[in-house]
Amino acid sequence: MHPQLSLILKEIDEINPLHAKKIQKNRQLFDNEFDEAFNPMIENFSRVLNKQSLNIHYAVKCYIRMITEITLEMINYSRCGTYSNASYSDVEQRVYADNEKFNDFKISLFISELLWPQHFLIFLHFTKLFRQYGEKGNRFIDIGGSHGQYLQYIMNAPLKERSALLFTNPLSLDMVNWFVSSSEYDLIYEDSADKEFGKYDWVTMGETLEHTENPVKYISLAIQLLRRGGFLFVTAPINAPAIDHVFCYRNKEEVIALFKDKDLTLLDEFQVYAEESQKLNSKASSIWSALFRIN
């Protein structure tokens, strides 16, 4: 295990022992596959903290604060059946408008990428799929940023053309730039994506559909950007309220329904629960992923 990850776990145990105990159950944190995939990300995270003159103790305090906020969101969701944000503008006012809160939230999200099985197992699954199908194309675009890790992974793949990021919100853009220099990819916007940059062999859209009140718009855009025979990898949180989530999915069938009649073939789907012991609970939090090929 990377020394910085050990330090993160130690700090969590000191602040919130119950949460630390839950994390310790994730045995995948301690295997070689995790180290190989995530050690470079941990190194990047250390550089981000050092650049801001912050330390692990501060980062973990931010993370524990986010855990508290998620708990409150879960209570609201169980009572009302809806997320507390009704629109993207709600999230802008609540999270993005306050620079300090925005930065603390990004730090918290990064730690969750390392510690939550529904995050790191989905990413590891993507790397396996890309190794299986990735050699079939050279153009890659990420819609939304996917917290940065997908674009960083692709940068080390033998693609012949520059990768691209389609802007959807400032949080994802900032997190991508923690991992990848902005000079290494093309940043494009929705209104010019298809017209100026053509078609792509791979589109990833990781944890994007829950941040908008109109997910169909991004699905249609992803399909427009794909060449015939190209691949779309998408993920979506289910029963996962958070202070930056807008669109609520109650089961994977609700997400899959959005992709029906889109001339896509489902090649793979994978679902990881926040707590494996809760997977039989219809309201359990999870992240669903799928790989489609456009016909």
Domain boundaries, given as residue ranges, for the chain: 3-115, 117-294
Of 13, 25, 73, the residue nearest 278 (C-alpha): 25
As a whole number of angstroms, the distance between CA 275 and CA 287 comes to: 11
As a whole number of angstroms, the distance between CA 90 and CA 96 comes to: 10
User: pLDDT at position 27, please?
Assistant: 63
**pLDDT per residue over 111-158, tens digit each?**
998 888 888 889 999 999 999 988 667 889 999 888 788 888 888 777
User: pLDDT at position 34, please?
Assistant: 78
Average pLDDT over residues 257-262: 92
User: pLDDT at position 62, please?
Assistant: 96
Mean pLDDT is lowest, of 62-66, 91-95, 133-137, 199-203, for 133-137
Residue 256 has pLDDT above 90, yes or no: yes
Average pLDDT over residues 159-168: 84
Average pLDDT over residues 177-205: 80
As a whole number of angstroms, the distance between CA 186 and CA 163 comes to: 6
Q: Is 24 helix (H, G, I), strand (E, B) or coil?
A: helix
Residue 196 has pLDDT above 80, yes or no: no
As a whole number of angstroms, the distance between CA 181 and CA 127 comes to: 21
Average pLDDT over residues 64-78: 94
Q: Is 245 helix (H, G, I), strand (E, B) or coil?
A: coil
User: pLDDT at position 178, please?
Assistant: 83
User: For residues 292 and 192, which has the higher predicted lDDT (pLDDT)?
Assistant: 292
Look-up of token digits 């939090």: 285
Residue 250 has pLDDT above 90, yes or no: yes
pLDDT bin (cut points 50, 70, 90) of residue 272 is very high
Residue 291 has pLDDT above 90, yes or no: yes
- The two structure tokens encoding residue 287: 């992240």
pLDDT bin (cut points 50, 70, 90) of residue 231 is very high
pLDDT bin (cut points 50, 70, 90) of residue 235 is very high
H or E segment and range at residue 165: strand 164-166
In the predicted model, what is the mean pLDDT of the chain? Answer: 88
Helix, strand, coil distribution of the chain in percent, nearest 5 = 60, 15, 25
User: pLDDT at position 11, please?
Assistant: 95
Helix 99-115 × helix 56-80 angle, to 10° = 90
User: pLDDT at position 176, please?
Assistant: 85
204 to 44, 166, 198, 295: CA distances (angstroms)? 22, 10, 16, 17
In this structure, the number of other CB atoms found within 10 A of the CB of residue 46 comes to 17
Q: Which residue type is seen at 35?
A: D
Residue 162 has pLDDT above 90, yes or no: no
Of 174, 247, 168, 253, the residue nearest 203 (C-alpha): 168
pLDDT bin (cut points 50, 70, 90) of residue 36 is confident
Residue 72 has pLDDT above 80, yes or no: yes
* Domain at 117-294, CATH homologous superfamily: Vaccinia Virus protein VP39 (3.40.50.150)
Query: In the chain, where does DSSP find H-type helix?
Result: 3-15, 17-24, 32-51, 56-80, 88-91, 99-115, 117-133, 149-155, 170-179, 193-197, 215-225, 252-257
User: For residues 278 and 99, which has the higher predicted lDDT (pLDDT)?
Assistant: 99
User: pLDDT at position 67, please?
Assistant: 95
Q: Whole-model pTM?
A: 0.91
User: pLDDT at position 248, please?
Assistant: 92
Radius of gyration of the chain (CA): 18
User: pLDDT at position 158, please?
Assistant: 75
Residue 236 has pLDDT above 80, yes or no: yes
- How far from chain centre, in Å, is Cα 22? 21
